[in-house]
Amino acid sequence: MSSKRERFVRVAERRTNNVLLNLRLLGNCSNRQNYQYDQEDVKRIFQALDAEVRRIKGLFESALGNARQFSLKNK
């Protein structure tokens, strides 16, 4: 049976590579010879991607105890 670390590395690498592949495939949609879109479409795509990346990053930061609190004292 693999350790939690080994399992994390195996699963995280596979899932990260899948995400990267799908981002490259999404990039193929930028070809205006094959697709029609406007700036609003692009804006909505990247808002969705940015929001999900921030959400997932927050999960990792919270799990590590690195969730930051807002304070005007710490500049």
Residue 75 has pLDDT above 60, yes or no: no
Confidence band for 71, pLDDT divided at 50, 70 and 90:
confident
pLDDT in tens, 17-64: 999 999 999 999 999 999 999 999 999 999 999 999 999 999 998 888
End-to-end CA distance of the chain: 46
pLDDT in tens, 6-15: 999 999 999 9
Same domain flag for 48 and 27? no
What is the total count of domains within the chain? 2
Same domain flag for 29 and 58? no
What pLDDT was estimated at residue 2? 75
Same domain flag for 31 and 47? no
Q: Which domain holds residue 25?
A: 1-35
Same domain flag for 25 and 58? no
Question: Following DSSP, what letter does each residue of 7-44 receive, concatenated?
Answer: HHHHHHHHHHHHHHHHHHHHHGGG-TTT----HHHHHH
Is the CB of residue 58 less than 8 Å from the CB of residue 67?
yes
